[in-house]
Amino acid sequence: MNTLEQGQQALDARYPLRRNQYYPQFHLAPRAGWMNDPNGLVYFNGRYHAFYQHHPFSVEWGPMHWGHATSDDMVQWHHQPIALAPDSEADRDGCFSGSAVVDNGQLALIYTGHRWLGEVGDDSQICEVQCLATSQDGITFTKQGVILQPPAGIMHFRDPKVWHEAGSWWMVIGARDTQQRGQVLLYRGDSLTAWTFDRVLAQADAGEGYMWECPDFFALGRHHYLLCSPQGIAAQGDRFMNLFQSGIITGHWSAGGDFTDQQAFKELDHGHDFYAPQSVVAADGRRIIMAWMDMWESPMPTKAEGWCGCFTLPRELTEEKGLLRQRPIRELQNLRGEGSYWPPQLLIEEKLLQESVEAAEVSLHWDLQRVSATAFGLKIGQGLTLSYQVAERRLSLTRDYSTEGLVDSRRVEISDATAMQWQIYIDRSSIEVFINDGEAVLSSRIYPTEGDRQLKLFSQGGDVAVDTLHYWPLRSAIE
């Protein structure tokens, strides 16, 4: 039995033992075992493919495989056999993150082969190279070997994102230079096996991180956007509160030229759990991103259920009046059950919306010109509070799950002081809050216990006007 078959056998054996108190109803998660970064988001032969970093043997990070799921609409996902396993000399300690493209009718995976040169886990002694695997049917893959070695002196060299533009293949790779600065390196390819270094596309200044992981690079509207996940940025007030960050650098680029940035690195999501986002171009041309909805070195209570990790909802990126917005894709509306609508009303103290919520969408429009409250918002059980502080114009998402070691808060300033719209997706162990039509987003894992899933609105120190309030239960989207 080869390594790929062993991984699949382990996954098949663990899956029936999985418990589901926190297992999502409409977010992509592994059948069992560990999941982290999304890899190889691609549209191929009429279906969307989502690959991901996967360890089928346990709920802990380990030698990385590539898990695989497919969908007709990016909402209803179907698990496929494991796509890649660490079974060659180049990737013996892990098939790390990468991307997927369609090349001459084949689906091609470009990924990082990882090896420990010393003790396992010692990041000061590693070798990382870029590798290729191909498939005719999009399910079974054949490895084609190493296609790119790191530059001299660089060990941390991973997470290739590949695309075709201006008659050439292009690849961005995350790196750490000899001065311990994060970089994104750009390569040009005549084919998927013939690459030439083009330039350092971007690199960290002091305080901007020692490693820039999981880069993505694309045009949208009038700009190019460099998407990356820096490691090593210190918290600054309400910014950069997570261990590692993920965000966007805005600028301009054309093939053969430098990337000129116009706006410094800006976080994409202000919640507790958002890392390594990757984009895909939908069949109709929309730019969609998905990310890992967990965070390194944080408690992960789902391990006790035999699984760990999930993705955010797919989000459409748009540029409007020079600003980047994120909105849940419209296909998610197909999950809505029979909804409830509350007429405009004045909220005083507390209102019960649902006795128990597991999978739901809530749309709220607050009138900030008719508010005497000092704070107002939404609660799920005793552990989750989403609260807007009126005087500070800040929205906070606070978790209080002390038995799980999770007592913390994230905050973001809201620019509009006259009205505010929330679109909220609640799953068994997550919440995603889209503010003012995608102006800002907060994504966090939550862990309410059985019997502690009441959904309430609240007002403190006065009242607030609710213009519109819709609630939809959401159907399951995962097989």
Q: Which is catalytic among the residues 12, 37, 91, 367?
A: 37
Largest CA distance in the chain: 68
Q: List the one residue out of 11, 3, 53, 51 whose CA is nearest residue 33.
A: 11
At position 255, the amino acid (one-letter code) is A
Two structure tokens written together for 328: 């849940």
Residue 105 to residues 45, 134, 155, Cα–Cα distance (Å) = 9, 10, 33
**Cα–chain center distance at 306:** 21
| Contact (CB, 8 A) for 172 and 215 | yes
| C-alpha to C-alpha distance for 438 and 35, rounded to whole angstroms | 27
Ramachandran bin of 232, using left for φ above 0, alpha for ψ from -120 to 50, beta for the remaining angles: left
| C-alpha to C-alpha distance for 270 and 386, rounded to whole angstroms | 13
Whether 37 sits among the annotated catalytic residues: the reply is yes
| Contact (CB, 8 A) for 100 and 133 | no
Q: How many contiguous H segments (helices) and E segments (strands) does the chain have?
A: 1, 32
Phi, psi of 404 (to 5 degrees): -100, 0
Please report where in the chains the tokens 């533009």 appear, as a residue. Answer: 165
Beta bridge partners of 38: 52
| C-alpha to C-alpha distance for 304 and 369, rounded to whole angstroms | 46
Q: What secondary structure letter does DSSP report for 171?
A: E
Active site amino acids: 37
